[in-house]
Amino acid sequence: MSMLEVNNLEVRYGRIRAIEKLDLTVERGEIVTLIGANGAGKTTTMRAIAGLLAASRGSIRFEDRDITKLKAYKRVPLGISLVPEGRGIFGSMTVMENLDMGTYSRSGKKADSELDRVFELFPRLAERRTQAGGTMSGGEQQMLAIARALMARPDMLLLDEPSMGLAPQFIRQIFRIIKEINAQGTTVLLVEQNANQALAIANHALVLESGRITKTGTGRELLADPSIKEAYLGVA
Ligand code: ATP
């Protein structure tokens, strides 16, 4: 049994079919990367898995349970946390308050040990715990968004373009942290424009084009694929 099994998924915005016939599986412990051009349907896929968009067809199973019709807030306690594109942190709240918001989503778990883990991963957030989220740099805000998602102790972390808009030193740091989070036992589904680094850390990867999966393989296979190189890795 795979941890996440998406079968024949279709998601629509009214008459527009953003995703169709999408199959995707994620095994426990993996990093799976989804790459694709702007508008390919990456964010739609992530939001559907998190429960923020309804499937008009197909099914989503998590840990052998059908969650296709489950509301987003009921998926969090099952172990699915989304770090949305654009981060979605609360700008006027402090770092601590933002992190506290994350713990509400998965009750019955000890928040203190999570806070220790999160501050170990992101020492900068510990230093800035009383600072308003909105006054931090883009990289720090991204760290806060990931940290907040981790406060819910997810078994699977959905990361939607975590490196977007960040300076190169933050991008390297974010990818290092994703690997670390995975090494600590959290399964990761990653959406990225930054295909090079995202494929380099992936066990498996998929290419999404116009709402359909057009290629799958190991991260290494897709990194070496000439058509991928040309389309996504900036190598002619
Ligand atoms: P990006 O990298 O630009 O975020 P993406 O791969 O995440 O792209 P999606 O945001 O999932 O792509 O969009 C997939 C398709 O659905 C696109 O054609 C987009 O125009 C369309 N779409 C997305 N959101 C909406 C919406 N709220 N209403 C109508 N169409 C939408």
Q: HEC string of the chain?
A: CCCEEEEEEEEEECCEEEEEEEEEEECCCCEEEEEECCCCCHHHHHHHHHCCCCCCEEEEEECCEECCCCCHHHHCCCCEEEECCCCCCCCCCEHHHHHHHHHCCCCCCCHHHHHHHHHHHCHHHHHCCCCEHHHCCHHHHHHHHHHHHHCCCCCEEEEECCCCCCCHHHHHHHHHHHHHHHHCCCEEEEEECCHHHHHHCCCEEEEEECCEEEEEEEHHHHHHCHHHHHHHCCCC
pLDDT band at 126 (very low <50, low <70, confident <90, very high): very high
The predicted pLDDT at position 103 comes to 75
Residues of the chain with pLDDT > 90, as a percent, come to 75
Question: In degrees rounded to 5, what are phi and psi of residue 84?
Answer: -70, 155
Please work out whether the CB of residue 44 comes within 6 Å of at least one atom of ligand 1: yes
Dihedral class, residue 89 (left if φ above 0, else alpha if ψ from -120 to 50, else beta)? beta
pLDDT, the chain, mean = 92
Dihedral class, residue 62 (left if φ above 0, else alpha if ψ from -120 to 50, else beta)? beta
Residue 151 pLDDT greater than 60, yes or no: yes
Please work out whether the CB of residue 84 comes within 6 Å of at least one atom of ligand 1: no
Please work out whether the CB of residue 16 comes within 6 Å of at least one atom of ligand 1: yes
Q: Which of 44, 193, 214, 232 to mutate to test the pocket of ligand 1 (most atoms within 8 A of CB)?
A: 44
Please work out whether the CB of residue 39 comes within 6 Å of at least one atom of ligand 1: yes
The predicted pLDDT at position 185 comes to 95
Least confident of 84-93, 104-113, 156-165: 104-113
Q: Whose CA is nearest to atom 26 of ligand 1?
A: 13
CA of 45 to the centre of ligand 1 (A): 10
The predicted pLDDT at position 27 comes to 97
The predicted pLDDT at position 111 comes to 64
d(CA 139, CA 160): 14
The predicted pLDDT at position 104 comes to 64
pLDDT band at 109 (very low <50, low <70, confident <90, very high): low
pLDDT tens figures, 40-77: 999 999 999 999 999 999 999 999 999 999 999 999 99
Q: Whose CA is nearest to atom 21 of ligand 1?
A: 18
d(CA 111, CA 102): 9
Least confident of 84-88, 105-109, 141-145, 152-156: 105-109
d(CA 42, CA 211): 8
Residue 106 pLDDT greater than 60, yes or no: no
Q: Whose CA is nearest to atom 19 of ligand 1?
A: 39
Please work out whether the CB of residue 18 comes within 6 Å of at least one atom of ligand 1: yes
Residue 113 pLDDT greater than 70, yes or no: yes
pLDDT band at 105 (very low <50, low <70, confident <90, very high): low
Please work out whether the CB of residue 148 comes within 6 Å of at least one atom of ligand 1: no
- The whole-model pTM stands at 0.93
CATH of domain 4-91+155-232: 3.40.50.300
CA of 228 to the centre of ligand 1 (A): 21
The predicted pLDDT at position 236 comes to 46
Please work out whether the CB of residue 38 comes within 6 Å of at least one atom of ligand 1: yes
Please work out whether the CB of residue 1 comes within 6 Å of at least one atom of ligand 1: no
Q: Whose CA is nearest to atom 14 of ligand 1?
A: 41
Give me 222's structure tokens: 């897709």
Least confident of 84-88, 153-157, 182-186, 200-204: 84-88
Q: Which of 16, 19, 52, 160 to mutate to test the pocket of ligand 1 (most atoms within 8 A of CB)?
A: 16
